Structures are given as C-alpha cells and as structure tokens.
Structure 1
C-alpha cells in the first residue's frame, strides 16, 4: 500500500508539472521580463537570507517560443540549450511567485528575486516575500506544490511586478 500511495503522489505531481498553465508575461511582452532563464544556472547562488545576483537580460534578437510565450536569451548558445529542454529552464509555476502560490494565489514573479532548489528555478514577487518564503522553503514548496494543480488552469496574473524596473530587450 505504501508503494501505491507514493506512486500515486508522484504521478499526480508529475502530471501537474507537465501541464503548464498560462505563462506570466509582464508589460515587456516577454516571459520572465525578458531575462535569460538559462543564465540563472551560471550565476553563483547566494546563501538563504542574502540577495541573489541580478538576472541576466536577454536580447530581442535571440528568442524562442515556449508555453505560448517569448523567452529572450543573452546568447545563441543559451537559446540552443533552452530548446533542448525548455521545461528544465523555465521558472516553476509559469513564472508566478512561489510564495504566492504557497498562499493560494497567482501573482507575478520578479526575475531578480530567484532561487534554484532541487534544480528548479523559483521566483518571488518582493524582497519581503523572499524573507517569508525563505523562513521555511521546504514547507512553502509543499504548500505551493499542493496548491498549484487548482491554480494552474486559472489565467496568468495581469499584475505589475512591484518596485521592479525591467531591463527587458525592446521588441522593436
């Protein structure tokens, strides 16, 4: 019985992750506000409780489509890497704030407030929210993973990221 329960939970978790909802796209017209999702993997992650390095802006000349949205990249190599396995590089919860999902809602994720946990990229909305999320990352991930299946089919957030100035490329 224990193996069945574990298998059922894994199947539901995997199924929920595979069925991406609508990607959060802000006023820039780009997913992740035009920042390069592959480049996060090259940045040195700061310890919990300290600010992460700034995200790497992408270029309007180097893009790829995924989940109905345009992603921008700093280099052709990053674009090619992304196209090999896009689901690996996109932020969890379709770019929405991980803590917001833990609390039961879809709010925008700020590309400069990021953390990679278990090889997955998570974004949060404000520095204050990051501190709440980091108080109990495992517990908040459990909550967000439990909430996501019911939130996933709802439309993406249309809110603006607070206190955020995008360096997104001009779609020109």
Structure 2
C-alpha cells in the first residue's frame, strides 16, 4: 500500500472512529417522561358515584385525562370514566371546593367529599364540606368563577 493511500486510509478510519464514539453524544437522549399529577391522591373518582364511598384505585387501572392520572378500582370504573370524564372528574381539579369558593387553592382530602347536582366536590376539612353544603349552589357558582382565574396558578 502506498504511503499516500495508507495515510488516507488511516485518516478515514480515525474520522469514522471519532464519529462513532461521538455519535451517542450528538443525538438527543430521550428525556424521562414527566409524570402526570395523580388525581384524588389515587382514589377512584367513579367509586364515589357507584359505591358511595371513597375507594382507592389501583395502578393496573389508570387513565390520563386532562393532564391528570386517575386510578380506578377496576376496569369497569375506568371505562365508565373514559366514556364520560366530565361526569366523574372532581370539580376544580380536585382542589378543595370551599376554599375555591373563597378564592383560594388548597389541596383536598379525597375522603371528605360530596356529590351535589351530579358533580363530585372534595374538601380539605369536614368543616369546609359542611359550609359548602349549607349553600351548595352559591358556593359552586363562586368556586367556578374563581377556578377560571386560579386553575393556572402553581397550586399548593
């Protein structure tokens, strides 16, 4: 092999080796998926309607809706939710409904809840739930108005 050919062959091999070594660095690495917020702290939103009790869901029966990951006690509940999420999803993104009526974001306790006018409301405390129920129509209307302004807030 001539000196010139050997030199060019060596340069090509070196360029290829450097390119292959750098290749993984030049491609965008997959970013880990951002986990959606777990709605209702893992409680099944459909169970409030069908069972009348706060029931923990299981990871085997999850569904992401509107950027929130919900868990269900069984596949039937998941499928009911999928068919009509507006019916079963908690109002105000699962934030405390009474605090929302007062213009505040506050995390709720999904074991403190009520269904009013066919909608699921969750609360931070039993006292808040009781105050909400005393005038649920007015409180729901106030909370809905406040939710329009607060839903984009970072939250508690």
Same fold, TM exceeding 0.5? yes
Aligned residue number for residue 103 of structure 1? 102
Matched, 1:80 2:88: no
Matched, 1:121 2:129: no
Work out the CA distance in 1 between the residues paired with 2:51 and 2:137: 22
The alignment covers a number of residue pairs equal to 121
Q: Deviations along 1:95-143, whole A, 9 cap, x unmatched?
A: 0011011000111121111111111111111112122222222221121
Aligned residue number for residue 138 of structure 1? 137
How far did residue 81 of structure 1 move? Answer: 1.1
1:35 to 20, 36, 43: 43
Contact 2:114 2:129 survives alignment (8 Å)? no
Q: Match of 1:99, SS? A: helix
Matched, 1:63 2:62: yes
Contact 2:55 2:73 survives alignment (8 Å)? yes
Gaps of 5+ in 1: 1-23, 45-52, 158-172
Aligned residue number for residue 147 of structure 1? 146
Work out the CA distance in 1 between the residues paired with 2:86 and 2:137: 21
How far did residue 94 of structure 1 move? Answer: 0.4
Work out the CA distance in 2 between the residues paired with 1:93 and 1:145: 7
Q: Match of 1:65, SS? A: strand
Work out the CA distance in 1 between the residues paired with 2:141 and 2:86: 20
Which has the larger helix fraction?
2
RMSD: 1.7
Q: Match of 2:115, SS? A: strand
TM-score by length of structure 2 reads 0.71
Work out the CA distance in 2 between the residues paired with 1:114 and 1:59: 20
Aligned residue number for residue 19 of structure 1? none
Q: Which has the larger radius of gyration?
A: 2
